[in-house]
Amino acid sequence: MRLGELDASILKRQLRTEGISLQTGPFITQISTQAPDLIESLHTLYSDALICEYAEFSDFHISVDRPPGLRRWLQPQIDFYFDGTAPFNPFPAGQALPLFEWGLNWAISQHAHQYLIIHAAVIEKEGHAVIMPAPPGSGKSTLCAGLVHNGWRLLSDELTLLDLHNGQATPLARPVGLKNDSIEVIRRFAPQATLSPITVDTHKGAVALMKPPADSVEKSDQPAQPAWVIFPKYIAGAAATLTPHSKAKACIALGDNAFNYSIHGVNGFNLLTNMLDQCDCYDFSYSNLSDAVSIFSQLEPPA
């Protein structure tokens, strides 16, 4: 069943006790938490995701809770527990949702080496995927959020999972993180989008998460073949422009942006070089989302 079909009070009780088993893309994650803000956000943002009522096996066991001890009364904090151990320092208590999203990304990137995992957004149309690697501040997530409300399917905003066996991008349709000004940009550009409440004062500034489109979540079992690698860059006032990017440099950039490229050794090298043989590579500068959407709609897959 879908998480949204669960009654809010039942979801709350389950999250606070034995937890729920949530399917996101290829992974099943057992989640439990006492944090009321996280419970509410999960209810909103993951309502289209499948939950497994009797999951016997979960890939990851996660809880997000207050650390024990006196400190909880002085300066409330929240910890991310991966199978009973806390791999990070605690966050301030109000940031349970970003901590959960960040922690789940960490769990996947540290453990799922059946994929080459690249820090990049990936979207799809008519069976062809665009991979968009980019550093923070390049407007990657804003562009991704805009495109997935305009004809493109979201595979992932943060983690591109490339299957080592066939090079296909595996969907992991989870909420899209929006920062600072882009929250308002998306509110105006895609009024139908559902956003979480804004968390302020994370190390990134103001953060809100956008619920992935229902259709993207439903198609989580349909991988896509990469056809383009596009490096987006938001430049104030710039016209939306695609310029060709060297394949060899794109390969190095993808490797640099991958969490586990070096782990895969020669298999990672072969995966990326074979994939790039089949891809067109571009730099993309833009300032206006509508123009960006129109340029993307004109992309022709490589012959």
Partner 1 sequence: MSSPPPILLHALNHPENMLSLSLSSWDLLIRQARGAGLLTNLHDAIDRLGELNSIPERPRNHLESARTLTDKHQRDVHWEVKCILEALKALKQPITLLKGSAYLIADLPVAKGRLFSDIDILVPKEAIEEVEQTLRLKGWMLTTHDAYDQRYYRTWMHELPPLRHATRNTTLDVHHNILPETARLHPSPKKLLQAAISVNEDNSLYVLSPADMVLHSATHLFHDGELEHGLRDLVDLDGLLRHFGNQEAFWSELVERAKEMDLTRPLYYALRYSKKFLNTPIPEETIIASQAGSPPAFMPYWMDMLFLRALAPDHLSCRDWLSGTARLLLFIRAHFLRMPLHLLIPHLFHKAFISPRSNGAT
Partner 2 sequence: MPSWQVTPESQFIWHSWNNEHLLYNNASGSTHLLGEAEAVLLQSLQKAPQTIPQLEKGLSELFEAVPSEEATKWLQNTLFQFKSLGLATIEN
Residues that bind partner 1 (CB under 8 A): 28, 56-59, 61, 83-89, 111-114, 262-265
Q: Does 262 bind partner 2 (CB under 8 A)?
A: yes
Q: Are 263 and 109 in contact (CB under 8 A)?
A: no
- Decide: is 269 part of the binding site for partner 2 (CB under 8 A): yes
The neighbouring-strand residues paired with 264 are: none
Q: In the complex, what is the shortest distance from the CB of residue 263 to partner 2, in angstroms, rounded to a whole number?
A: 9
Q: Got the DSSP string for 68-133?
A: SSTHHHHS-EEEEEETTB--SPPEEGGGHHHHHHHHHHHHHHHH-TTEEEEEEEEEEETTEEEEEE
Binding-site partner at residue 73 among partner 2, partner 1, none, CB < 5 to 8 Å by type: none
Residue with tokens 């509508």: 290
Amino acid at 274: N
Question: Quick check: 77 and 94 in contact, CB under 8 A?
Answer: no
Which letter does DSSP use for residue 258 in this model? B
Binding residue for partner 2, selected from 97, 159, 251, 289, defined by CB under 8 A: 251
Contact pattern for partner 2 over residues 201 through 240, marking x by CB under 8 A: ----------------------------------------
**Whose CA is closest to 169, among 105, 227, 225, 253?**
225
59 binds, among partner 1, partner 2, none (CB under 5 to 8 A by kind): partner 1
The one of partner 1, partner 2, none whose footprint includes residue 246, by CB under 5 to 8 A per kind, is: partner 2
From the list partner 2, partner 1, none, pick the one residue 191 interacts with, judged by a Cβ distance below 5 to 8 Å according to partner type.
none
Q: Hey, which bits of the chain come out as E strands? A: 20-24, 27-33, 50-51, 60-65, 77-82, 91-92, 115-125, 128-133, 153-156, 159-163, 169-170, 176-179, 199-202, 205-210, 225-234, 241-244, 280-286
CB-wise, 70 or 266, nearer to partner 2?
Answer: 266
What residue 273 binds from partner 2, partner 1, none (CB within 5 to 8 A, per partner kind)? partner 2
Instruction: Please state, in angstroms and rounded to a whole number, the distance separating the CA atoms of residues 193 and 19.
Output: 28
Closer to partner 2 at the Cβ: 239 or 248?
248
To the nearest whole angstrom, how small is the minimum distance from the Cβ of residue 296 to partner 2?
Answer: 24
Find out whether 201 and 180 touch, Cβ atoms under 8 Å: no
Cβ closest to partner 1, residue 246 vs residue 270: 270
- Closest distance between partner 2 and the C-beta of residue 120, in Å? 17
Determine if 278 is a binding residue for partner 2 (CB under 8 A): no
269 binds, among partner 1, partner 2, none (CB under 5 to 8 A by kind): partner 2
Residues 6+ apart with CB under 8 A from 106: 82, 87, 88
Residue 53, phi then psi, degrees to nearest 5: -65, -40
Which span (47-55, 97-105, 182-190, 251-259) binds partner 2, by CB under 8 A? 251-259
For the chain, what's the residue count? 303
Q: Does 270 bind partner 2 (CB under 8 A)?
A: yes
- Give residues in contact with partner 2 (CB under 8 A): 246-249, 251-252, 255, 261-262, 265-266, 269-270, 273, 276
